[in-house]
Amino acid sequence: MALGSSDSTFLNTQPEASLEAAYEVCRQETAQWAKTFYLGTMLLPPMKRKAIWAIYVWCRRTDELMDSPEAQALPISELSERLDQWEEHTRAMFKGEVKNELDAAMTDTLGRFPQSIQPYLDMIDGQRMDLNLHRYATFEDLKLYCYRVAGTVGLMTQGVMGLDPAYTTAPWSYSPDPSEAAIALGIANQLTNILRDVGEDRGRGRIYIPQEDLRKFDYSESDLLAGKLNEQWKELMAFQLKRARDWFARSEAGVRWLSADARWPVWTSLRLYRGILDAIERVDYDVFNNRAYVNKWVKMLDLPLSYLIAQIR
């Protein structure tokens, strides 16, 4: 089973030093592979940011079982076996078994911020969907996939972020379900990933834009595979971007009720990730030949603005 760069047996000869080393592995991997997300985590208090790094790396290792270059060359049967083994490994980790650095960081995180194993199992099921399902007939079908591979991240992290104490006494009309808001943010992020990575995904034979939407805008699957840029494509993408922005908007009410030390980093991550949608518009929806991203200077300028927004509930 491929568990990434830290799959050797974890030697716990110096617990505190070894645990710090484990979290450092998670920090480095998050900084390397999720630059915008990492910037947001650096605004969290030390223990919370470490926990989020550990959760991120667990999610990345899960994703790599299906999407790493090595995995692309494996038969479906072997990929399925890998996912089964990873599920077994994860269940053992939740029981406190430590076999590598990631396990050490995760069991420490789970001890400090207890949570259910179900979102983790749901994410593994999301990877199983990628084994055989490379097209989605409707958005409702796609939404289930987005929940499993990304909405679950919101559930994994909400216990780490915590809620403002005022949430429990707020009028019901101003008290959104924190879990629903967390899931909405994950779905928004995944829809953004899908739109940014259309060109990359087609190279792997995957089309995540719902088939019903392709028909609605008279843009065929063969057009997409050929990277055809026309008015139909632009209208289709504008529709998809609006849908993603709607999901970001759904999440905002929940972000406002996070604990004070979590609102700024989450607002920063939300706003910067949503900025990828703006970047897609700036390249005139040509995601076949361009990778949309948020410039570093934009990230720096957004930090104080996100801080001010985080002060307003």
| pLDDT, tens only, 99-130 | 999 999 999 999 999 999 999 999 999 999 99
Nearest C-alpha neighbor of 142 from the set 153, 155, 120, 126: 126
Contacts of 90 (CB under 8 A, 6+ apart): 58, 117, 120, 121, 124
Q: Is it the case that residue 89 has pLDDT exceeding 70?
A: yes
Which ranges in the chain are annotated with CATH 1.10.600.10?
Answer: 12-116, 133-313
Band (32; pLDDT cuts 50, 70, 90): very high
CA dist., res. 263 & res. 301, Å (int): 17
CA dist., res. 118 & res. 186, Å (int): 16
Residue type, 286: D
Which pLDDT score is estimated for 311?
Answer: 82
State which of 32-41, 166-175, 191-200 shows the largest mean pLDDT. Answer: 191-200
List the CATH code of the domain at 133-313: 1.10.600.10
Which pLDDT score is estimated for 101?
Answer: 92
| pLDDT, tens only, 204-255 | 899 999 999 999 999 999 999 999 999 999 999 999 999 999 999 999 988 9
Band (15; pLDDT cuts 50, 70, 90): low
Which pLDDT score is estimated for 302?
Answer: 84
Whole-structure pTM value: 0.89
| pLDDT, tens only, 152-169 | 999 999 999 998 888 767
Token reading at 181:
């808001």
Q: CATH number for the 12-116 domain, one of 1.10.600.10, 1.10.10.10, 2.60.420.10, 2.20.28.120?
A: 1.10.600.10
| pLDDT, tens only, 248-283 | 999 998 898 899 999 999 999 899 999 999 999 999
